[in-house]
Amino acid sequence: MGRISVLRLAIIVSVACCFSLLCGVSIASAQKKPAIKLGVNLDITGYGAWLGEPELRAVQLFAEQANGRGGIDGHPLEIVVYDNESNPEKSSGNAKKLIQRDKVTAIIGTAITATSNAAKSVAQEEKVVTYSLSGSYEPSYADSFTFATWVHTSGMVETIYDYFAKKGIKRVATLCATDSTGQTWHDEANKSTKKYGIEVVSERFNVKDVDVTAQLAKLKANNPQALIVGVSGAPNAVVAKNFNQMGFKIPYVTGHGNISDTFLKLMEGNEPETLLLPGAYYIVWRELPDFFPQKKLMKEFAEAFQKKFKKEADIYAVVAYDAARVVAEAMQQVKPEGPKDSPKLRDAIETIKSYPAVYGGTYTFSKEDHRGIKKDAALMIQVKSGKFVMAQ
């Protein structure tokens, strides 16, 4: 039916009677209570569609599972979904509609930094919890009503620099996009240089550029030992193609926002000899020892996602699923009835401590920390034979 300007799906997942017997709550009794509405404002089409699609599926899966367990203290969990088309203006408009018209208690979204920033002012003005799925978005500020998944880009940069330290790499080149994601990578890569004793030379490029040989030539003149490319998605294919054409033999490192099958397909034919990314333990969960604390949780999610959607869950599905889990955990405490109860929901999330993450690691929130997950939940990942594996 072509591109959809606005997609609205109201989903209340029903379950069979056998599940009712298992959880001790009948469907009839659960449906007597009003639904708790959870808004979803995602980049389902547009530039960030490759992120929004798996994220939406993960939230749908969680809603189905939650309702199968009797909902939120007997209240069905209803998700109301809008497509922001990867457009900041639409993202802001969607947030307003979800709160003012649909009366959601919280919103999950968006996938990218620009659309997350656009929804931020609405979240603050309306005092409604909004959970960004962008690793570069900053949710921790005074009286914040926003939260975010992923280890922040600052932690990912330090994960890269820890790896460089082990390999004796001291001279680093960075090529970062001029969009909001690239700006964050540029800033964080330069911020940590003194701590690690790393020399950095930097160049910038536009995500619409079809050739970056001029920037790469300037960087190559400084004889770097590794290149960090601060961008997500398709522009990596342009950079990698020029990188190989110019005969670079150094590690090519790019951001955690690229860990997906879509990225692997983008890089086919242009894959650098050493392609590295910082990422989450979930990506390599099969390689983890059985005693790894979150492996059982990871396996259960991976199998449930595969069964429902007939495809493997990527990291974007994981962060959306974790966001829904965290919000629902707080909802169990608050039993919210709409936007008016979202301040209580915010406060409840801030009390969550050591909550196991499918992502890997644990979430511990506070008034000062609305991301809740630290650098120890990240590791270096390498692409080998078209697959993500632990870096050696």
For residues 2 and 284, the model is more confident at 284
Which positions ≥6 away from 223 have C-beta within 8 Å? Answer: 171
Identify which of 47-51, 231-235, 284-288 has the greatest average pLDDT: 284-288
- SS3 readout for 7-70: CCEEEECCCCHHHHHHHCCCHHHHHHCCCEEEEEEECCCCCCHHHHHHHHHHHHHHHHHHHHCC
Average pLDDT over residues 87-110: 97
pLDDT in tens, 1-43: 443 443 444 333 333 333 333 343 334 444 479 999 999 999 9
Instruction: Say yes or no to pLDDT of 373 above 60.
Output: yes
Q: How confident is the model at residue 187 (pLDDT cuts 50, 70, 90)?
A: very high
**CA dist list (Å): 228 to 190, 259, 275, 329, 351:** 11, 15, 10, 37, 36
pLDDT at 234: 87
Domains and CATH numbers, the chain: 9-150+295-375 (3.40.50.2300), 153-285+378-390 (3.40.50.2300)
The answer for residues whose C-beta is within 8 angstroms of residue 162's C-beta and 6 or more apart is none
| pLDDT tens by residue, 134-164 | 988 899 999 999 999 999 999 999 999 999 9
Would you state the structure tokens that stand for residue 303, as one six-digit string? 């199998």
Query: Which pLDDT score is estimated for 61?
Result: 98
Q: 197-241 pLDDT, tens per residue?
A: 999 999 999 999 999 999 999 999 999 999 999 998 889 999 999
Surface-to-core class of residue 29, CB atoms within 10 Å of its CB (0-12 exposed, 13-18 middle, 19+ buried): exposed
Confidence (pLDDT) at 24: 39
Q: What is the pLDDT of residues 62-87, one digit of tens each?
A: 999 999 999 999 999 999 999 999 99
Residues facing 25 on adjacent strands: none
**How much is the pTM?**
0.85
**Mean pLDDT in residue range 175-196:** 94
| Mean of all residue pLDDT scores within the chain | 91
Cβ atoms of residues 115 and 84 within 8 Å: yes
Across the range 268-288, mean pLDDT stands at 95
